[in-house]
Amino acid sequence: MLRLLARLLKALNSESDPGQISLALCFAMICGFTPLFSPHNIIVLFLALVLRVNLSGFLVGLPVFSALSYALDPLFHRFGLALLTAEPLQGFWTALYNTTFFRLDRFNNSIVMGSLVFSLIAFVPCYFLFNRLIRAYRSQVMEWVRKSRIAVAIKGSKFYQIYRTVSGWRA
């Protein structure tokens, strides 16, 4: 995990495209918010591997969003239930309910539906938000962090050694 975190930090601190890290975090958000072993997450995993996204970002983001989902599940449940029971959508859901993939993925479950729709809606705004945060970090926070006392302390730690090792691979 430390190694993964170090890789993520390296990516954050490097000149690499912020979009790759943001996209990875957005994919991790879908996998983390929705029940992990849902079939749709295979598609997300495929995209995360095939598209040139930062895999460290994806792997670090996954447990973070999974942990967050425990707190957000009541919200997902309410949102999903409202969607599934909305009168104007009944025909649409009924048609989907009669398809194999809908049943296999349990889209008729309030949490599956709520968390998936929520993370899909949040996908694009989060992508731009993460991009902005990464750029802000690079331009304003990174230099300040480097000079801070905590950073100095960390530089003497084992974690920093790992970070150096990871950085060294690229050097």
Partner 1 sequence: MKRWIRWQGVLWFAVLVALIGVFWVLLIDILVEKGIETGGTKVVGARVELAEADVTFAPLGVTLHGLQVTNPDKPMSNAVEAGRIAFNVDFRPLLQRKFNVEEMAVQKLRFDTPRERSGAIEKKKRKEREEGKIAIAGFELPSAKEILAREELKSIEKITDLNERIGNLRSEWEGRTDQLPGPEEIQEYRDRIEKIKAGGKGVTGALSTASAVSELKKDISADRDRLKSTYADYRDQLEELRTEVDEARKAPAEEVRRLMDKYALSPSGGLNLTRLLFGDKIAGWVGSGLQWHSRLKPFYDRAVAKAKEPKKVKPLRAEGTDVLFKEHAPKPDFLIRHINLSAETKKGNFDGTIRNVTGQQHLIGAPLKISLDAEGLPELESARFKGSFDRTEPEAPRDTVSASVAGYRATNLQLSGRQGFPVLLESGRVNLDLNAELVSGRLKAEIDSRIRDATLQIEPEGKNDVAETIASALRGISTASLKANVSGTPEDYDIDLSSDLERVLQQAVGQVLQEKAQGLKATLREKVVERTQEPLEKLDTRFENYLDIKGVFDRRLDSFDELLSELVRSKSGVDLPF
Binding residues for partner 1 (CB under 8 A):
35, 42, 45-46, 49-52, 69-70, 73-74, 76-78, 80-81, 84-85, 90, 93-94, 97-98, 100, 103-104, 106, 108-112, 114
Map residue 107 onto helix, strand or coil. Answer: coil
Instruction: Report in angstroms how near the CB of residue 10 gets to partner 1 at its nearest.
Output: 18
Distance in angstroms (rounded) separating the CA atoms of residues 62 and 84? 26
Instruction: Report in angstroms how near the CB of residue 171 gets to partner 1 at its nearest.
Output: 22
Question: Nearer to partner 1 by C-beta: 108 or 142?
Answer: 108
Instruction: Report in angstroms how near the CB of residue 73 gets to partner 1 at its nearest.
Output: 5
Question: Nearer to partner 1 by C-beta: 96 or 162?
Answer: 96
List Cα–Cα distances, 13 to 20, 46, 83, 113, in angstroms.
13, 26, 41, 36
Map residue 15 onto helix, strand or coil. Answer: coil
Instruction: Report in angstroms how near the CB of residue 92 gets to partner 1 at its nearest.
Output: 10
Question: Nearer to partner 1 by C-beta: 102 or 160?
Answer: 102
List Cα–Cα distances, 83 to 19, 89, 113, 124, 163, in angstroms.
31, 8, 8, 20, 45
